Amino acid sequence: MRRYRAPVIVRAWLAALLLTLLTATIVGAQSGNSASGAPPARGQVSVARLNLRASPSISAPVVTRLTQGAVVQILAVSADKRWYQVSTTDAGQGWLYAIYITPVGADAAPLAAAASPTAPAATSPAVAPTFAPGAVVATTTPARMNVRSGPGTNYPVVASAAAGTQYEIIGLNPARDWYQVRVPNRAEPAWIFASLATVSGDLTSVPQLAEADLPAAPVAAPAPVAASAPAAAPVAAPNTGTGFGYGVTANMWQGDKQGVADLVKQLGFGWVKQQVRWEYAEPQPGAIQWQEMDSIVDTINGNGINLMFSVVTSPPWTRPTLGGTGGPPEDFQLFANFLGAMAGRYCGRLQAIEVWNEQNLRREWEGFPLEPASYMELLKRSYNAIKGACPAMLVISGATTPAGYSDVAFDDIDYLRGMYQHGLKQYSDGIGIHPSGFANPPSVTFQDWESGNYTALSHVNHRSFYFLSTLRESRRVMEEFGDTAKRLWPTEFGWGSTPSPFPGYEYEARIDEATQARWIVEAFNIMAGSGYVAVPMLWNLNYPRDTEMGAFAIAGRPAFDALRAMMGR
């Protein structure tokens, strides 16, 4: 399984800062530059909350947040006319994105943001709308698509757009998978799903809104994104009694299952995880191919080892309009039905099912909004199907992978918080996470780097690069929502070591095999002593060494021997 390599938010911040330093120029708008000698213009904040930044860039530090209705003095406008330099009563000077400022006073008109349409959208499809120079425009692609009041399928539909409809993009949500757009004859901005539109213009110039700046979510329960009825209430209370155990992910599919069982017993571990690709298991509707799963369950159960299946990908027949296999089915209940059949068939011999994997990455959630509410609809259905077939089966939420915000990722800690906001506590026995360490030791934290007590050549300037920081922050979210009786399940963690890393994994060349072994043992010891981790699944036992996963494999390497010694073998 590919790792998410670096939070784009960090790289984007550096790029944007450099761009700002090289290109930003300011056009005077103070009264001294006005031919009429009029006093500086004033403007009023038109959204719930708006960041006042230190320079005209969405990556610049936030000075403060202004609330809707706040009045500011407009001192200058940036050369691209997208930012106003302003003076505030309480926070001094800074920069605001112009599209969210409504000028007040007769002298404000010349400073109006240049990004608004110069003419309303025409009612006739034969007449295209016109936009100001530099505007970023989205063109819808489906025959008919919904335009919503907020960035999510749980928000009301406010309009319907035919294929080829054009809207000016004026904002992005934090995950960058929804566009905030201007809709003709509508006072408030609206939102369209980014994957269903093409873009012309520089999307990097469009501001990314903070969560606090988004429209309030509807009070009613989120509308289902799947075709069938919404998920019902939990059919069984979560089981929170699991203690600590030692596990490892193995590659047994069409492989040497007994050989894997022998290696796990040599380690002294009690758990093994196998990834099951649903697309292989049910290639045609209802025609589940049980043979390979039967063989894995029979072998591992026969050797007295606990087994987890992590189920991912969708058969093409479940995504007739979306295509591909890298996302959930168009009807979430189809996936739940498969997991229910799995739980019923293997009840008492399969101990746990992980429901999907790394759903905060675009490549794992193709075709659907990259948001927690969407995944939680899948989890709720799956939980009920599994528990209905086998109440004792442990249901582990799909593990989030460490990431910042980008156009392909949703910050994993914020995503986990969003899962809790949509019912995670009631629909899980354990909380899946992937606390990767990249090239950093397991005991080092992001705070160590921030304070100057730690440095490395790369992968240091974001929380997601640190095993212990991700572990602790994930637990804090559980505490925030009162889910402390439950435990974290790190269903993947580990460190790769190879002199010839694959592109994007160059840091692995700096980790020798002795260091790999030492860090893995140290990580297990940290988790064993935490009191809030259940069963960590080391990534991995035996993936082929000539693949990018092979750098993490421990079979036949010092890490294997170090783990045996740790277990007293």
Q: Does domain 25-109 have CATH number 2.30.30.40?
A: yes
* Three-state DSSP class for residue 318: helix
For 110-148, the pLDDT digits (tens) are 333 323 323 333 333 334 578 888 899 999 876 667 888
* Three-state DSSP class for residue 117: coil
Are 529 and 471 a contacting pair, CB within 8 Å?
no
- Segments of the chain scoring below 50 in pLDDT: 5-39, 106-127, 220-226
- Buried-exposed string 368-402: b where 16+ CB fall within 10 A, e elsewhere: bbbbbbbbbbbbbbbbbbbbebbeebbbbbbbbbb
Q: Do domains 25-109 and 137-209 have the same CATH topology?
A: yes
User: What is the predicted pLDDT for the residue at 67?
Assistant: 76
Q: Please list, in sequence order, all residues whose beta carbon lies within 8 angstroms of the beta carbon of residue 134, skipping any fewer than 6 positions away.
A: 80, 81, 82, 114, 115, 201, 202, 205
User: What is the predicted pLDDT for the residue at 342?
Assistant: 97
Q: Cα–Cα distance between 152 and 472 in angstroms, integer?
A: 29
What does pTM read for this prediction? 0.64
User: What is the predicted pLDDT for the residue at 416?
Assistant: 98
Give start and end residues of each alpha helix (H) in 64-150.
Answer: none
CATH of domain 137-209: 2.30.30.40
Per-domain residue ranges of the chain = 25-109, 137-209, 247-566
CATH of domain 247-566: 3.20.20.80
* Three-state DSSP class for residue 122: coil
User: What is the predicted pLDDT for the residue at 1?
Assistant: 52
User: What is the predicted pLDDT for the residue at 59?
Assistant: 57
